[in-house]
Structure 1
Amino acid sequence: MALNIPGLIALIVFYAITLAIGIWASWKSKKDQQKGKPSEMVIVGGRNMNFFIGLFTATATWVGGAYINGAAETVYLPTRGLMWVQAPIGFTLSLTIGGLFFVNPMRSKNYLTMMDPLQETYGNMIGSLLFIPSLIGDIFWFAAILASLGATMKVILDIRGYLAIIISACTVILYTLLGGLYSVAYTDVIQLIFITLSLWICVPFALLNTATKSIYYTAAQEFYQAPWIGKVQPEHLARWLDDFLYLVLGSIPWQTYFQRVLSATSARQARLISYFSGLGSFAMAIPSVLIGAVAASTDWNQTSYGLPTPEERGESAMILPLVLHYLCPTYISIGGLGAIAAAVMSSADSALLSASSMFAHNIYRKTLRKKATEREVLWVMRASMVMFGTVAAGLAFYSHSVYDLWFLGGELVYALLFPQLCCVLFIPNTNTYGSAAGFFFGLLLRLLAGEPSLNIPPIIQYPGCSLVDGVYVQLFPFKTFTMLLTLGTIVAVSYLAAFLFKRNLLPHRWDVCSVIKENGAVNGPTSCPPCQIEKISEFTSSGAARES
């Protein structure tokens, strides 16, 4: 296979256009920075984001390279199929739930990041601790989508994957560093349009290829492999539900989501962006599902790819670029490559901005250097973008499965952050002791459950745990179980600590987190002198009716 020169030229043109838009948006943001705080402009766009721009960027955030590649891969796999493609419906429900319950409390308080209410309630030290799973999630997400792009370019352009990863990471870092949310949002618009047009243009050519049977017949009948509709075996139902709940609830506590809704001009507009972006992300999965169905309906021996099949060669993760390359004309596959590159950038820049925003605002300004100037915070944010982007690119070189890495990136966020966020927004009187206990207990449970993709055997073997091809597989819904135990631990320890100190069963001098006032009433953390519990109680009772 020779280097695809036309494809390489087309990709360079696309990258140049994206970078130019990012630079233009950065120029626009610098003009607007004169109207408010520069850091607020970079993180949430001055809370003045146009509705349609906000809708595009919120949708593009979820429609990343791992999303479109993962959907096609799952439909194609004989052991999975359409029944296991949970992300489209999961994300739609997640964004709907976020709009219904989480947008008003966050937007009405004018928070800058998802970590703000956590630090406000539990203090800066615990807030810094809770930043760790969020950082890991963003970096793993960035790495997963970079890896998907590297695999795609290797198939279609015949260039080394590491070159694609390095070039893409450098491009994303550059325009995100220059313009913050403005650059991310405006580049997301062109990227989402390109993804939509390119993938839908590819679908008819793949469906009508002579090597492909009608996907209508292969959905329920076995031709070249098992029917692509798939099925969920009874013994796998609990694991299926666990993964689904993980997608629905675990997709909420991400700064990439709250960055979009917090940038809206009002709480009402933020809710609408959340609802409609859920529908948009669902629609964007349709071409990937069709391409996965085409791959499962193809006699690969009739193509230049030949036998054995991609699944037998262990190349299922690259099934979307393989279909584009072997079942579509060259000029069409080049357009598909552009779609994947656009999808990668649209999510990579969001992950990068998310991690750097929280580090600069919540860790550096609120914890490490409380007297930091705006200029200082901006430079810390830029430096952290370079650092986090470099780490993610390095991890992308060692990624073997797009889908596994994508799931792995959010498990700690689901198990540890979702309960914490629910407690600070909806459950009054939780305190620093409960938060710390829930974090460490939940982390311990998750680590003891093992991780097959990292070859970590489970110490805790839940009911249904079995050895499959030398790897232990947990069929029990342990992710949701861990999340619920974390939530219960936060509430139980918070109320127990308050009870023991209030009843003088423990001396007040042991109350190192100062959750009890001198008169015995429950108090907030030492970093927030006013009574945070009274604030939260008032906030949860009336916040749903308020709009900024």
Structure 2
Amino acid sequence: MNTSVPEVTFGPGALAVLGGYLVVMLGLGLLGRLKQKERSLRDFYLGGSTFGFAVLFLTLFATQYSGNTLLGFAGRSYVQGATYIVSVTFMVLVITVFMIYAPRLFRLARRFGYITPTDFVYHRFGSHALRVLCVVLLCWGLANYVLEQLVAMGHGVEAISGGRMSFMQGVLLLVGVMLIYESLGGMRAVAWTDAVQGSLLLCGCAVILYTLVTADGGLAAASERIRATAPERLEPPDARGLRTWVSTLLMLGLGVALYPHAIQRIFAAKGEKSLRRSLAAMGFMPLGTTLLAFLIGFIALSRFPGLSQLESDKVTIYVLGGLIDRSPVMYWLIVMVFAAVVAAIMSTADSALLSIGSMFTKDIYKSYFRREASAREMLIVGKTFAWGIMAILILMAWVSLETESSIWVLIELKLEFMVQLSPVFMLGVYWRRMPASAVLTGMVLGTLLTLVIWCGAAFDVWATRSPWGVGAGVWGLLLNYGICVGWTVLRPAKLPATVPA
């Protein structure tokens, strides 16, 4: 049975809130431009490395919790049911991984002046091939990441406009605003807008959480409705399900902690104390965001059983849409929540796009095509490249809508390849005798194994891209780590690497 979903009609008030929010974002972009102290790569891409605790925490929060969380994770919770409560541990592991490598990487960045993640890679290992491969994998992950946000943008604006704007019109509107304020102010504008967006997101999450646990009998009533319509969604996982849990935990925990735009926020911290305090505060955020996404999907399963794969990405919209007519106060609260959803989506997309531009400009264009390029030329090239990538991704967002690709599939496609960078950072910042040849070989073979498993499943050579319940990327990662560790133990680097003891 497919219970009909509510038709979400927000009215002109919601459009006014959205319009006002976008105007504020443009204003912050202009202010960021005026506050630039110099036209340098460090100022544009890292905000001059001046972010204190408050701004750093809010920009990390707004960037980390995006359309993936509020739409993609909620949709996955709808599909899997009660077992997806494990998703909270995914994001807890992300912060744990950050705490392991981020403080040491920050000290290296401050000492040697890193701007992009691959500045560290080349300085640490001295390998051109490894640097280029890292840029390719990171840009692949970020391009998929931005694509996820574009899909979420379209769904969000379509909902908040009550259907007055189509999916693609919503994408084009938000992308246009985002590109303007990002091009004007760079990282400083992005971080300031993230601070506003993060504040909205925190307030929005609190409102949704309170509403979900109090409305319509709360979680107890939702569990009873699910037991009547889909009792299998309340069952504990079997052995294969447990392996999938562990596999997803590794994929998300290690992969998300390697997002280039998150690493660049490590470089942008004012000091190590600000960084550690921000990461410590981030450790509590899964309880108010990832847990919330799980609850949204769980409540949606109890109210709207039988949704299609594409519809499952909209369960946040459906759940909140069923609350807007309860009172004028609830109407405006839900409008603000949707503004928070849009804020989270934009904050992630703008950060990822800025990071793509910085890596292409500094690690590819200047290093291999125009060594004499000035800072002004590199900024122009970076902005132009980012705009071009965005145009391609807008087209791909339309294709994903037509093919009904879910946000979760895009998440897997991104992380299962990007997680192959884990040994570079997790081992590279500490293990001075690990040679570039070990890292490069492990990364190449791990990526190839992941690609083979994905392609085999896509062309029906085998039935699944998760053999034995373990994701393709995790199989590749195990091979990757095995090569890195085994090679280093048997044939350690003859000379100490450039990373200081």
Instruction: Compute the TM-score of the two structures, normalised by the length of structure 2.
Output: 0.87
Contact 1:94/1:252, CA 8 A, preserved across alignment = yes
Q: Take 1:313 and 1:225, find their aligned partners in 2: how far apart are those partners?
A: 16
Matched to 1:322, the amino acid is Y
Q: Which of 328-337 and 221-230 deviates more?
A: 221-230
Change (3 A) 1:359 1:224: same
- Displacement, 1:324? 1.6
Matched to 1:98, the amino acid is F
Q: Does 1:295 align with 2:300?
A: yes
Q: Take 2:263 and 2:410, find their aligned partners in 1: how far apart are those partners?
A: 23
Secondary structure of 2:458 counterpart: coil
Q: Does 1:16 align with 2:17?
A: no
Secondary structure of 2:422 counterpart: helix
Q: Which residue of 2 aligns with 1:107?
A: 107
The CA deviation string for residues 432-457 of structure 1, in whole angstroms up to 9 with x for no partner, is 433332232112101111269xx614
Secondary structure of 1:261 counterpart: helix
Q: Which of 361-370 and 339-348 deviates more?
A: 361-370
Secondary structure of 1:129 counterpart: helix
Contact 1:458/1:472, CA 8 A, preserved across alignment = no
- Displacement, 1:207? 5.6
Determine which of 146, 171, 176 is the counterpart of 1:170: 176
Change (3 A) 1:51 1:203: closer
Q: Take 1:204 and 1:488, find their aligned partners in 2: how far apart are those partners?
A: 46
Q: Which residue of 2 aligns with 1:535?
A: 498
Instruction: Compute the TM-score of the two structures, normalised by the length of structure 1.
Output: 0.80
Determine which of 130, 152, 162 is the counterpart of 1:148: 152
The CA deviation string for residues 257-309 of structure 1, in whole angstroms up to 9 with x for no partner, is 211111112223222222222323442234333333322332x5xxxxxxxx4
Secondary structure of 1:327 counterpart: coil
Q: Which residue of 1 aligns with 2:406?
A: 401
Matched to 2:467, the amino acid is Q
Change (3 A) 1:267 1:243: same
Matched to 1:101, the amino acid is Y
Contact 1:310/1:319, CA 8 A, preserved across alignment = no
Contact 2:222/2:299, CA 8 A, preserved across alignment = no
Q: Take 2:270 and 2:20, find their aligned partners in 1: how far apart are those partners?
A: 34
- Displacement, 1:314? 5.0
Determine which of 258, 262, 267 is the counterpart of 2:263: 258
Q: Take 1:89 and 1:290, find their aligned partners in 2: how far apart are those partners?
A: 15
Q: Which of 347-356 and 271-280 deviates more?
A: 271-280
- Displacement, 1:534? 4.4
Q: Which residue of 1 aligns with 2:338?
A: 337
Percent identity for Structure 1 against Structure 2: 21
Change (3 A) 1:223 1:49: same
Change (3 A) 1:227 1:6: farther
Q: Which of 160-169 and 115-124 deviates more?
A: 115-124
Change (3 A) 1:251 1:473: closer
Q: Which residue of 1 aligns with 2:324?
A: 328
Change (3 A) 1:109 1:487: same
Runs of 4+ in 1 over 6 A off after TM superposition: none
Contact 2:91/2:290, CA 8 A, preserved across alignment = no
The CA deviation string for residues 444-500 of structure 1, in whole angstroms up to 9 with x for no partner, is 101111269xx61475x6xxxxx4xxx66533424323112112324555677x68x
- Displacement, 1:64? 0.4
Q: Which residue of 1 aligns with 2:3?
A: none
Question: What are the equivalent positions in structure 2 for 1:190-201 lying under 5 Å apart?
Answer: 190-201=196-207
Question: What are the equivalent positions in structure 2 for 1:311-322 lying under 5 Å apart?
Answer: 311=307, 315-322=311-318
The CA deviation string for residues 336-394 of structure 1, in whole angstroms up to 9 with x for no partner, is 32121111011111111111111112222233322221112211221122122222322
Q: Does 1:241 align with 2:235?
A: no
Q: Does 1:7 align with 2:14?
A: yes
Unmatched segments (≥5 aa) in structure 1: 301-308, 462-466, 500-514, 516-521, 524-532, 542-548
Q: Which residue of 1 aligns with 2:135?
A: 131
Q: Which residue of 2 aligns with 1:450?
A: 454
Q: Take 1:422 and 1:472, find their aligned partners in 2: how far apart are those partners?
A: 26
Q: Take 1:150 and 1:354, find their aligned partners in 2: how far apart are those partners?
A: 22
Q: Which residue of 2 aligns with 1:413?
A: 418
Change (3 A) 1:82 1:351: farther
Change (3 A) 1:10 1:102: closer
Q: Take 1:206 and 1:494, find their aligned partners in 2: how far apart are those partners?
A: 51
Q: Which residue of 1 aligns with 2:376?
A: 375
Q: Take 1:90 and 1:14, find their aligned partners in 2: how far apart are those partners?
A: 31
Contact 2:101/2:425, CA 8 A, preserved across alignment = no
**Greater helix share, 1 or 2?**
2
- Displacement, 1:217? 3.9
Q: Which residue of 1 aligns with 2:386?
A: 385
Q: Which residue of 2 aligns with 1:305?
A: none
Unmatched segments (≥5 aa) in structure 2: 1-6, 326-330
Change (3 A) 1:122 1:424: farther
